[in-house]
């Protein structure tokens, strides 16, 4: 139970950090995660908290690398394989040897094997750790592709070197022949074994697809279990479990074309599940860093070893970062092959050097260090984790400051969002022309306008103000009917009550919803003397039931609410026509509320088949706009692909919720 509570608190911190990062975009997400982890360290439930390193590698590293591998682009790997291997293997080896040796020379208390171990875990990069930095200042496509795939392959190289160096420290001996053999056995054996298992699993999935067993439950669970199965089997055979997982992920990615078209729904569900799992795991790692920092710092303060001082370790961490950064800068300037030549090669190399940020994998490997070595407490574990943390934080701070200075800033409003609005407006413009099935077309128009609302951030205060003004406009129109002698005193009284209730329920707050459910269920039960009808009324949303309630109230007194409502509705629509300037989003919300009320109170039945046709017509209009814009060169293929994905998701959402649009 305690473990479940701890995990729940960590996941809650991940959620909170992601919310904060969305609203404070200048600060990268990892900083929020680490800060919340530090705050959690003060809770009593985290006293004496320890995580088993082997469990950490299995539960965190394996699924994360599998997901990175399966999402890798075969096109980019084939096109940039020489650059990727140069950075992922050559640069890692050179950095480990040069910086590790330099670290041992200026800090002799750290054995050279552990110096190499530390460099093996802080050299692999994590491009996703600085994604937020490049949202306003995107890097070139070639650089982004190299960084993404470098981070995958250098993870594997770094992990193998880390295992070798740590084994040499624990055993106290080092044999070059044994090291080469171990490297080949772990590296090549892990790749071949993982590839073989990956082929078997993909073949099994294809077999189940052919026999229509490709339900999301079956397929997603198989995919989620794959990295754990591959890792455990590889470790049993003394292969590199991490490399085996990477190879299995690459096989999964290479077979994606066979899997995608045969089960598109399953692919969509799978990508969504992995997005959540990956974000959850990477967030958990940074929270764990924050949780561990206070304990690590405290342990170093109380340690009798003066070489473990915090300030000395911070200086060493900065030395490691800047020395390996210089090596990376020179390497990317002179040893990378560039397909696209520019006049600013030093600037591009500097961007590549700064973009070599450390993140999740570095933390994962740091935490995987053993607590005990040869039966004794591993005294270097805390300092090494602290050094890794200094390098990670520095590698995140530096690009945050300097990358925006190196790259030209772009507009905050990305073109994709502008084109989404154009697509929706094109669909609305087409449906407005529909005269034969105006009611069904209006339902679709209202839904499309709601998408415009969701793509913007509505001002709720302004919406409430518009609702209040619309209420006053409708009340004034009805009072004029009474003054002209067109409705009776009773009709004015009852309709005024109807408007108050309408305004009361407009914001759909929970407590108001409950009050209305009780009121309507009591009224219906009393009216029909039937408990089943009262129960149905309580379970029906008030926004649906209140129009029926008031129509029955008027009919009970021999009066008709419909002509009165028509006058009030027309007055509100005329009023809202002049409110679409600065408050377009909020006006759409209010307009949709009144249109829905108007349709329900008049009890107009709509044809579900026609509604379906109108939706298909709207999607077709959106597709046509994309096709014409792509053909005329107004948008590129990358933007067109994102817009088409948006339409496909909208189509799927509609098909799964068809009944909601014809109520």
The pair of structure tokens assigned to 565 is: 């409502």
Which of the residue ranges 154-168, 230-244, 401-415 would you say has the lowest mean pLDDT?
A: 401-415
Residue 412 has pLDDT above 50, yes or no: no
Residue 544 has pLDDT above 60, yes or no: no
Q: Residues 127-154: pLDDT tens digits?
A: 555 554 555 455 666 676 777 778 777 7
Length of the chain: 663
Instruction: With CA atoms as reference, report the closest residue to 597 among 524, 498, 458.
Output: 498
Number of H helices, E strands in the chain: 29, 2
Residue 411 has pLDDT above 50, yes or no: no
Residue 590 has pLDDT above 80, yes or no: yes
What is the distance between the alpha carbons of residues 641 and 494, in angstroms, rounded to a whole number? 54
The pair of structure tokens assigned to 260 is: 């995608």
The Cα diameter of the chain in Å comes to 105
Region at 530 (left for phi over 0; alpha for psi -120 to 50; beta for the rest): beta
Residue 311 has pLDDT above 70, yes or no: yes
Residue 456 has pLDDT above 70, yes or no: no
What is the distance between the alpha carbons of residues 462 and 445, in angstroms, rounded to a whole number? 22
Residue 281's CB: how many other CB atoms inside 10 A? Answer: 19
Q: Helices marked H in 540-583 — which ranges?
A: 542-556, 562-577
Instruction: With CA atoms as reference, report the closest residue to 60 among 217, 288, 221, 237.
Output: 288
- Cα-Cα-Cα-Cα torsion 595, 596, 600, 603, nearest 10 degrees, comes to 50
Burial of 224 (0-12, 13-18, 19+ CB in 10 A): middle
State the pLDDT at residue 168: 87
Give the E-state strand segments of 384-531 in sequence order.
none
Mean pLDDT, the chain, whole residue set: 79
**Is pLDDT larger for residue 429 or for residue 78?**
429
Q: Residues 169-184: pLDDT tens digits?
A: 888 877 777 777 877 7
Residue 5 has pLDDT above 60, yes or no: yes
Which of the residue ranges 80-94, 576-590, 601-615 would you say has the lowest mean pLDDT?
A: 576-590
Per-range mean pLDDT, top range of 57-61, 470-474, 535-539: 470-474
Contacts of 497 (CB under 8 A, 6+ apart): none
Phi, psi of 378 (to 5 degrees): -85, 95
Residue 369 has pLDDT above 70, yes or no: yes
State the pLDDT at residue 114: 93
Delimit the domains of the chain by residue range.
2-406, 413-437+607-663, 458-606
Contacts of 330 (CB under 8 A, 6+ apart): none
Q: Residues 474-483: pLDDT tens digits?
A: 899 989 988 9
State the pLDDT at residue 539: 56
* Locus of tokens 């077999």: 207
Residue 620 has pLDDT above 50, yes or no: yes
Mean pLDDT calculated for residue range 52-79? 77
Question: Per CATH, is 2-406 categorized as 1.10.645.10?
Answer: no
State the pLDDT at residue 607: 75
What is the distance between the alpha carbons of residues 378 and 382, in angstroms, rounded to a whole number? 8
For 174, how many CA atoms within 13 A lie in the half-sphere containing its CB? Answer: 14
Mean pLDDT calculated for residue range 20-25? 82
């Amino acid at each position: 139970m305690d473990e479940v509570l701890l995990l729940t608190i960590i996941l809650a911190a991940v959620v909170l950090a992601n919310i904060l990062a969305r609203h404070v975009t200048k600060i990268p997400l990892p900083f929020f995660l680490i800060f919340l982890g530090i705050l959690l360290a003060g809770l009593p439930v985290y006293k004496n908290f320890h995580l088993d390193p082997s469990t950490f590698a299995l539960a965190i590293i394996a699924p994360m690398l599998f997901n990175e591998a399966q999402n890798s682009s075969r096109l980019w790997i084939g096109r940039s394989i020489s650059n990727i291997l140069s950075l992922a293997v050559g640069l890692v080896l050179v950095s480990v040897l040069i910086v590790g040796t330099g670290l041992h020379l200026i800090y002799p208390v750290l054995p050279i094997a552990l110096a190499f171990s530390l460099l093996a875990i802080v050299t692999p990069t994590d491009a996703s750790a600085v994604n937020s930095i490049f949202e306003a200042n995107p890097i070139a496509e070639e650089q982004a592709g190299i960084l993404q795939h470098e981070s995958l392959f250098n993870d594997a190289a770094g992990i193998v070197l880390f295992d070798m160096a740590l084994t040499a420290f624990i055993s106290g001996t080092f044999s070059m022949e044994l090291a080469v053999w171990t490297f080949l056995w772990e590296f090549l054996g892990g790749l071949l074994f993982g590839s073989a298992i990956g082929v078997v699993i993909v073949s099994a999935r294809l077999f189940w697809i052919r026999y229509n067993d490709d339900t999301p439950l079956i397929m997603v669970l198989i995919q989620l279990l794959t990295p754990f199965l591959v890792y455990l089997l590889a470790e049993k055979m003394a292969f590199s479990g991490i490399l085996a997982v990477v190879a299995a992920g690459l096989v999964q990615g290479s077979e994606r074309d066979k899997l995608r078209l045969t089960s598109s729904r399953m692919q969509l569900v799978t990508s969504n599940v992995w997005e959540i799992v990956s974000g959850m795991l990477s967030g958990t790692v940074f929270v764990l860093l924050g949780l561990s920092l206070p304990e690590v710092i405290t342990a170093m303060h109380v340690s009798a070893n003066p070489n473990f001082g915090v300030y000395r370790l911070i200086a060493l961490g900065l030395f490691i970062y800047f020395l390996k950064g210089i090596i990376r800068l020179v390497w990317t300037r002179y040893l990378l092959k560039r397909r696209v030549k520019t006049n600013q090669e030093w600037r591009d190399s500097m961007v590549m050097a700064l973009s070599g940020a450390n993140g999740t994998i570095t933390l994962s490997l740091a935490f995987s260090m053993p607590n005990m070595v040869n039966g004794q407490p591993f005294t270097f574990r805390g300092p090494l984790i602290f050094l890794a943390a200094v390098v990670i934080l520095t590698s995140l701070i530096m690009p945050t400051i300097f990358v925006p200075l190196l790259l030209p800033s772009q507009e905050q409003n990305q073109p994709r969002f502008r084109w989404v609005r154009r697509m929706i407006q094109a669909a609305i413009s087409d449906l407005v022309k529909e005269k034969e099935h105006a009611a069904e077309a209006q339902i679709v128009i209202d839904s499309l306008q709601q998408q415009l609302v969701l793509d913007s951030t509505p001002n709720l205060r302004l919406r409430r103000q518009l609702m209040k003004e619309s209420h006053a406009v409708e009340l004034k129109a009805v009072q004029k009917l009474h003054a002209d002698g067109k409705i009776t005193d009773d009709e004015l009284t009852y309709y005024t009550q109807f408007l108050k209730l309408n305004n009361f329920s407009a914001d759909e707050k929970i407590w108001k919803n409950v009050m209305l459910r009780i009121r309507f269920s009591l009224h219906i039960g009393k009216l029909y003397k039937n408990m089943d009808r009262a129960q149905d009324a309580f379970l029906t949303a008030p926004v649906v039931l209140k129009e029926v309630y008031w129509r029955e109230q008027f009919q009970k007194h021999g009066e008709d609410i419909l002509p009165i409502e028509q006058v009030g509705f027309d007055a509100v629509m005329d009023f809202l026509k002049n409110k679409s300037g600065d408050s377009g989003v909020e006006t759409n919300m209010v307009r949709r509320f009144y249109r829905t009320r108007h349709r329900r109170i008049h009890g107009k039945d709509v044809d579900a088949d026609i509604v379906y046709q109108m939706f298909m017509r709207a999607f077709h209009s959106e597709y046509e706009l994309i096709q014409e814009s792509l053909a005329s060169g107004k948008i590129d293929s990358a933007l067109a692909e994102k817009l088409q994905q948006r339409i496909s998701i909208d189509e799927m959402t509609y098909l799964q919720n068809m009944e909601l649009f014809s109520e």
